[in-house]
Amino acid sequence: MAEPNAFEQQRLQRIAENKARLEALGLLDHALSGAAEEQRRAARQRARQAAAGGDSSAAAAPPPEPTRRSRRVRGDAVENSGINMAGPSSTAAERRICGGGGGSSRPRVQVDLAVLEAGSADPAVDAHNLMRIRSMSEKALRTRIWKITRVDKLHSFVQVLDACGMAELAAEAREALSQLTGGAVTG
């Protein structure tokens, strides 16, 4: 047999060190006897019996509660109910914040969704665009403006930007909308 190379010698040395460590801890006989594997096998078998209903102590125990409990699923009130698109309202409580987010330093301003909804063809598109404006940086919004290819979505984007007081981005979105429609822009 050929002499082991440096890697193989290092491996054999590590095996010998680990064996000595196990022996010093009194675990070498246990590891070599196969008792550990036998214990694992017995534990797996007990778990299978419990799952099949063969173990009466496991059957009597109540099922564990889930670790995550959704307030929405339980029917409880949630802290952040999202965007209220139910209908016109003039209360300050039903206004939502625009801007901020995305690690940007732009100011956060109030926008009344009732005003936004009044001229909207699709409130869901407005809600989606508002989510983008809340969560994206100004640079990302600028890029997003030029990626939108649906006229209705870009028109909504212009309206939401205006409602959030982001005039410069709204002007750029109007320019993109003009290019998308071939110069025929309404509203």
Residues 6 or more apart in contact with residue 53 via CB below 8 angstroms: 59
Helix/strand number for the chain, H first, E second: 10, 2
110 and 49 housed in the same domain: no
125 and 168 housed in the same domain: yes
Q: Tell me, what's the pLDDT at 87?
A: 44
- Kindly state whether residue 70 falls inside one of the protein's structural domains: no
**Residue range 64-112, pLDDT digits in tens:** 766 666 777 777 776 655 554 444 443 443 344 454 444 445 555 555 5
Q: Tell me, what's the pLDDT at 146?
A: 92
CB crowding 107-140: b at 16 or more within 10 Å, else e: eeeebbbbebbeebeebebbbbbbebbbebebee
| Cα(102)–Cα(122) distance, integer angstroms | 25
CA 16 to chain centre: 47
33 and 103 housed in the same domain: no
- Kindly state whether residue 113 falls inside one of the protein's structural domains: yes
98 and 52 housed in the same domain: no
Q: Tell me, what's the pLDDT at 174?
A: 93
| Cα(63)–Cα(76) distance, integer angstroms | 23
- Kindly state whether residue 63 falls inside one of the protein's structural domains: no
Q: Tell me, what's the pLDDT at 164?
A: 83
47 and 101 housed in the same domain: no
Q: Tell me, what's the pLDDT at 92?
A: 40
- Kindly state whether residue 14 falls inside one of the protein's structural domains: yes
Q: Tell me, what's the pLDDT at 120?
A: 65
Range of the domain at 169: 92-181
Q: Tell me, what's the pLDDT at 78?
A: 63
Residues lower than pLDDT 70 in the chain: 1, 30-35, 54-63, 65-69, 78-120, 184-187
Q: Tell me, what's the pLDDT at 51?
A: 81
